[in-house]
Every structure is written in structure tokens, then in C-alpha cells.
Structure 1
């Protein structure tokens, strides 16, 4: 039994080391893309990481897998910042505004990386898994809110995916065009999302403003428990 335990220990350490190295290479990829733009090559990323291309390919099967890992990093970053904003005590309307502002601020911090991720290449979308992850979190938040207000919780999932799709499209448009300021884009987007959600809810007799902090009830919008 002892050799088996030792092998398991070595395997665990190797898996941890591999995960840490992958994370280092993903961050190097983000730095390279931020500096050189969406066309940064694998060679550019390897140089930024201080390794050769063959070393990089020990951790990622190809460029698409590397970009998918960057997409997962981006989704985690967006989700963390947006959730922090929307879970802060405020009115429901102001939470939407804060969440949208946090989203566009995150894109503005890494514009080249997010431009790359918003332009799927080779038939693959590096943000696909991340968008599903964000939509799942938003579905649970909206579902909790609708349940608290006595609304139709079945609306939560399609509404969540609609918001994610809208945010992705507007984010890409703003990064590519910059025809309005970031604050203006955030204002337009948050207005649209709020009126879409509150209007659809009102059609079924649900008033989302009842979620406002200070209305005498505990807001149901809170961090979801880990699965």
C-alpha cells in the first residue's frame, strides 16, 4: 500500500504544479496580448513567459486551448467584479448600474485581450464556457429574486442568457468603435438592461424595486452557495 500512497502524493504535487504553471502562462498570454494586440502569436506569448514554444505546448494542446484558458481567466475576472458590484447594498436599479460599470471597467483594463476573445477564430469561441458560467450565476440570482417576489422563476434562465448576450455584443462594439465614452456606454447599457428586466417583470405583476435595500425586507440577492 505504501508505494501506492507515494504515487498518489507525487501525482497530486504534479497536478498542482501543472495547474500553477498553466496559470502563469495564461497571465503571460494576457500580458502579451495587452501589449501586442489580438494578433500576438504563441511565440510572443512564450517569450513573455520566458519559455520556448515547445515548453508552452506541454501545457496547452494548441493555440485554441490557450485562448480558451485566457477566456476562462476573463470570465472569472468579470464574474468576480460584477458580483462584487451587484451584491453591494443599494437599490435594485443602482445594482444594475454598478454591475454594468464594473463589467465595462474590466474590459477597459484589458481591451486587447477582450477584443481577441470576442472574435472567435477557427470555429471555436474561447468565451463559450465563461459565458455559460456567468449566465448560470445570473440565473440563480434572478431566480432567487423572482422567487422572493412571487414571480415566475422560469424566466430567470432566458433572461440571464439575454443579459449575457447583450453585454457581450455591446462590450465588443464599444471596444472596437469607442464612439461614446465608457461612462456613456455603461449608462445606455444599464438603462436598457434595467428597463428590459423591470418591464418584463411588471408584465407579470412583479415589481423589482421591492428588492431595494431598506424596503423592510432582506434582499434575496446574495452570493450563491458553491455547488
Structure 2
């Protein structure tokens, strides 16, 4: 709190008056980063989900996420160290809540695609949890040491995109479905039944 007060050029009591306590300040930081992620998703996912291919949409949203993390690595590291990147179910608009909200929008579209071909959609929540877990774990590694080891933004974004598709394709295969990533969600051929030999 001393460091933050000094950086902001205000007294520590003034910080406490505004945020209440250290937890209030931490929550405000998490909410701000969460809001930035939500704004990014509105451009990359919500606007394009009926027109762009699903692959383009996922890659664009991952690139925006990586750019945001790359711009604010110290903030992300701080939030992760204080367990403010974990989903708590509080719905307070923090980072985890916003990430999950974005993922749920995408998950709903995958669910609709599976239901359209009368396939089991119960695998989707597991896929979402897997994507979030893998993505956050990789993010922590990247900001802690990956960038120092030469893993640049583009490489990291490509890895996250491929990992995401690996999980999605694995979930689809589990219920006997293949996805065509070069099509938009609205296309009837986006999800199709796998042929069984």
C-alpha cells in the first residue's frame, strides 16, 4: 500500500478511504483488468461470431488476450499471486468472472452447434474448464519466464490457439463430433457427426 500510495502521489489514508482496505484495492485492480478483457472480447468475439470463421474468431480473441497480458504483465502476475485470477463465483466483475463470461458466450455457441445435430453437449463445461486451466497455467509460465526464454507474443498466442483447438477437438471426438473451424458458428456444417467404421 505504501508503494501504491507513493506511485499515485496520494497519502495512504486517502487510498484506504477510497478502496476501504487492501482487499478492496486488489478487487478494484482485478475488476479493471476484467473490464479490459470484456471490452476486448466484445470486438473479437461478440461482433464477429456470426460472420467470421470460428478459427479466426478464436485466434483473434487469443491474440487480444495475449496483447493485454503482454501490456500488463506485472498486474497479471500480482493478480495471480493473490489468487485473484481464480474463479470464485462471486460475479463481482473480476478477471476470472469476465474470462468465464466470455468463455460461456463461446460455449453456448458450441452447445447450440451440438444440439443442432442432436449430439451430447454435456462435454462443453469440461472443455471450458480445461481451456481456462491450461490457458492460465501457460500465461503464468509465460509472464514468469517464457518471455525471457524468447517466447514472443505471436508464438505464445499461436500456442494458446492450438491448445484451445486441441481441447475443443478432443471434446468433440469424445461425443463423436468433428468441427470445421473454417466455418462460422451459424453454418449448418460447422459441427458434424464423425463416421464410425
Give the TM-score band, short-chain normalised.
Answer: 0.7 to 0.9
Which structure's residues are more often helix, by fraction? 1
What is the match of residue 126 of structure 1?
84
Superposed counterparts of 1:21-40, under 5 Å: none
1:41-120 equivalences under 5 Å are: 42-87=1-46, 88=48, 89-120=51-82
1:200 is aligned, of 147, 171, 186, to 171
Residues 15-54 of structure 1, C-alpha deviations (whole Å, 9 max, x = no match):
xxxxxxxxxxxxxxxxxxxxxxxxxxx2232233332110
Which consecutive unaligned segments of at least 5 residues does structure 2 have? 87-93, 191-197
Partner of 1:187: 158
- Provide the residue aligned with 2:91 in structure 1: none
Task: Report the TM-score when normalising by structure 1.
Answer: 0.67
The CA RMSD measured in Å over matched residues stands at 2.6
Q: Distance in 2 between matches of 1:119 and 1:52?
A: 25
Answer with 1 or 2: which has the greater Rg: 1
SS of the residue corresponding to residue 118 of structure 1 reads helix
- For residues 144 and 172 of structure 1, the distance between their equivalents in structure 2, rounded to whole angstroms, comes to 28
Give, in whole Å, the separation in 2 of the partners of 1:140 and 1:85: 12
Question: Could you tell me the TM-score, scaled by structure 2's length?
Answer: 0.75
Task: Give the distance between the partners of 1:143 and 1:63, measured in 2 at CA.
Answer: 36
Contact 1:70 1:126 in 2 (8 A): no
| 1:162 is the counterpart of 2:130 | yes
Alpha carbons 1:145, 1:211 under 8 Å: kept: no
Q: Residues 207, 83 of structure 1: CA spacing in aligned structure 2 closer, same or farther, 3 A cutoff?
A: farther
1: CA distance between counterparts of 2:138 and 2:15? Answer: 33
Q: Secondary structure at the match of 1:193?
A: helix
How many pairs does the alignment contain?
174
Residues 152 and 59 (structure 1 numbering): CA distance in 2 closer, same or farther, change over 3 Å?
A: farther
Q: CA deviation at 1:157?
A: 2.3
